[in-house]
Amino acid sequence: MTVNAQPGFPDRITMEDVPKGETVLLLNHTCMPKPSPYRTSHAIFVREGARKPYDATGEVPQVMHRRMLSLRGFDHTGMMLEADLAEGDAIAEAILRLFSNRAITEIHAHNAARGCYSGLITRA
């Protein structure tokens, strides 16, 4: 599909909003593969031709800053222990708050409005 609004189509490979006129693929992604009641897959956009995946420590990508996120903290078995809603600068604070629970091993970020999977946050 052709991108017709910006922001609006967040690429899950590069973690950037795709510019108007470029092509994205709408795919289903298994974001929680563990055998738990929270096992799930959800929609993601991928920029056609995206090659270099986003990989950073200690920063929240701008594509997340622009959206209200549902942050869901999971333990090693895939059980959700805590969750929070945050946007903008409050996202980093919410991530730290969730990780203060030592049993949380990963946080799944979803766009709160449409629910699309935004990304996986792991302990450094």
Say how far residue 120 (Cα) sits from the centre of its chain. 6
CA 96 to chain centre: 16
pLDDT digits (tens, 9 = 90+) for 8-50: 889 999 999 999 999 999 999 999 999 999 999 999 999 999 9
What are the extents of the domains in the chain?
10-122
> Whole-prediction pTM value?
0.91
User: pLDDT per residue over 40-89, tens digit each?
Assistant: 999 999 999 998 999 888 899 999 998 999 999 999 999 999 999 999 99
Residue 121 has φ and ψ, to the nearest 5°, of -120, 125
Nearest residue to 68 via CA among 91, 93, 40, 45: 91
Interval 96-112 mean pLDDT: 97
